[in-house]
Structure 1
Amino acid sequence: MSPLAEVVDRKLRERGTRERAQKEKSYLKSEIDHYGASVPDTRSVVRAALRGADLRHDEAIDLARQLWTEPSDNPVHERRLAATMMLIHMQDHLGASDTQVIEGFLREARTWALVDPLAGDLVGPLSERDPGFDPVLERWAVDDDFWIRRSALLAHLRPLRTGRGDFDRFTRFADEMLREKEFFIRKAIGWVLRDTAKKRPDLVFDWILPRAHRASGVTIREAVKPLSQEQRDAVLAAR
């Protein structure tokens, strides 16, 4: 383990408590160990570690891999969260050529607490500026793993939230997943629609209205939150 990884690991242990570790492990139904460090504390540890480190691309990737995979026989949630935060912090140095690393993390994450920031806060901005992610998202959208399909959806969240983004591609993905029973897919569709509707309610209303009879209650409840009362009533009536 590199000296910087050792520093991050030590600081995470110092910030953690056994009580919080047990609660978080239970809440997330986690199969890996927890130190019990909070998300803000983990973020603070990562920022302090990176301050003045001046990591280059390969060094950042190697550090993230160390934090994610070590110890190989007993990975730790907060170390994986720190690896995620590190990649997000270093995203200006990353691109589609790093897909293998990012996708590997997504496949091993098995929890929204890691998948969502990886997909939404990392892949989202990267895919908006690097067209090399286009075929990656297309492949993810039909993957057998629902966490990967969720990632294909959430990669659109931040761009669409700001009034940019590829709404046509997102809705094409969402339309194919609309009847899925998996809660995390239903929630993701609704979540992206909700945040898109905060700036472009008519766009979301026009898309969801003719599909309301196919969408789950979870999806509808999220999607209609920013809509006008008249629009909400129309969508709910169409169900």
Structure 2
Amino acid sequence: MEKAYLKSTLEHLGTAVADVRAAMRPVVRRPDLDHDGLVDLALGLWEPPIHERRLAAVELLRGRADLLTGGDLPLLEELVREARTWALVDVLAASVVGPIVEHDPAAAGVLDRWVTDEDVWVRRAALLALLVPLRAGRGDWERFARYADAMLDEREFFIRKASGWVLRDTGRRRPDLVHAWLLPRSARASGVTWREAVKPLTDEQRAELERARSAGG
């Protein structure tokens, strides 16, 4: 049942997420952990196709994302491709890739390629890599808006949901930005994207968007 919920083909041991995180906490805190040690440990954990081991690798990378740079993006892309479940991809994208591309604008260009990739998980990662800064009221809105517009007609649920998720979280601090972006795209947005995007908006903004959606605008 857990495998079905996580959309995963990996072996599952049944270990709770909290227990995996607790087990990795002392490793993350090791003062002697450097970049190469981090990568070696993460890859060693990742190699067996076992969900909890891969989750441990992701938690390790998340905990020491400060040791990673744009040079690690090819490796992280490989992990995203192999993960094939939102439970791993979302953390890799938002909490590992995200800090790299936020602090290294040159590295962010790799997302321009990811967003057109045939792999749905790579495309989802391109969107979610921009989530955390946008949620905090900063971030590369123009890049996200460009990606979301290009993928607005996507039929993949996981893309529609990711677009709505970022719009929703951006709208909590900057509802006018999301409202202005969504208004001319009201009829194109899927129900999944729409429902998430309008959650933080004012009643007046939602009403205007509903009218535009009904009119086909």
Q: TM-score, normalised by structure 2?
A: 0.95
> How far 1:53 sits from its partner (Å)?
5.3
Give identity over the alignment, percent.
Answer: 58
In structure 2, which of residues 1, 8, 28 is the aligned counterpart of residue 50 of structure 1?
A: 28
> Does the alignment pair 1:213 with 2:187?
yes
Higher RCO (C-alpha 8 Å, min separation 6): 2
> Counterparts of 1:97-136 in structure 2 under 5 Å?
97-136=71-110
In the alignment, structure 1 segments of 5+ residues that lack a partner are 1-22
Could you say which residue in structure 1 is the equivalent of 2:2? 24
Q: Match of 1:8? A: none
Deviation at 1:29, TM superposition (A): 3.5
- 1:31 is paired with a residue of what secondary structure? coil
- Quick check: 2:115–2:126 contact (8 Å CA) kept in 1? yes
1:96 aligns with 2:74: no
Where structure 2 has 5 or more consecutive residues not aligned to the other structure, the ranges are none
Say yes or no: does 1:65 pair with 2:43: yes
SS of 1:131's equivalent?
coil
Letter in 1 for 2:6: L
Q: Secondary structure at the residue paired with 1:143?
A: coil
Query: If you compute each CA radius of gyration, which structure gives the higher value, 1 or 2?
Result: 1
The answer as to whether partners of 2:28 and 2:64 remain within 8 angstroms in 1 is: no
Match in the other structure for 1:33:
11
Q: Cα RMSD between the aligned structures?
A: 1.1
Choose the corresponding residue for 1:153, options 103, 124, 127: 127
CA–CA separation in structure 2 for the residues paired with 1:132 and 1:57: 20
CA distance in 2, matches of 1:79, 1:227: 39
Count the aligned residue pairs. 213
- 1:69 is aligned with what amino acid? E
List structure 1 runs of 4+ shifted beyond 4 angstroms: none
Are 2:210 and 1:236 equivalent residues in the alignment? yes
AA aligned opposite 2:45: L
With normalisation by structure 1, the TM-score equals 0.86
Tell me whether 133-142 or 156-165 shows the greater mean CA deviation.
133-142
Shift, 1:121, TM fit: 1.2
Distance 1:69 1:236 in 2: 48
Of 136, 145, 160, 1:186 maps to 160
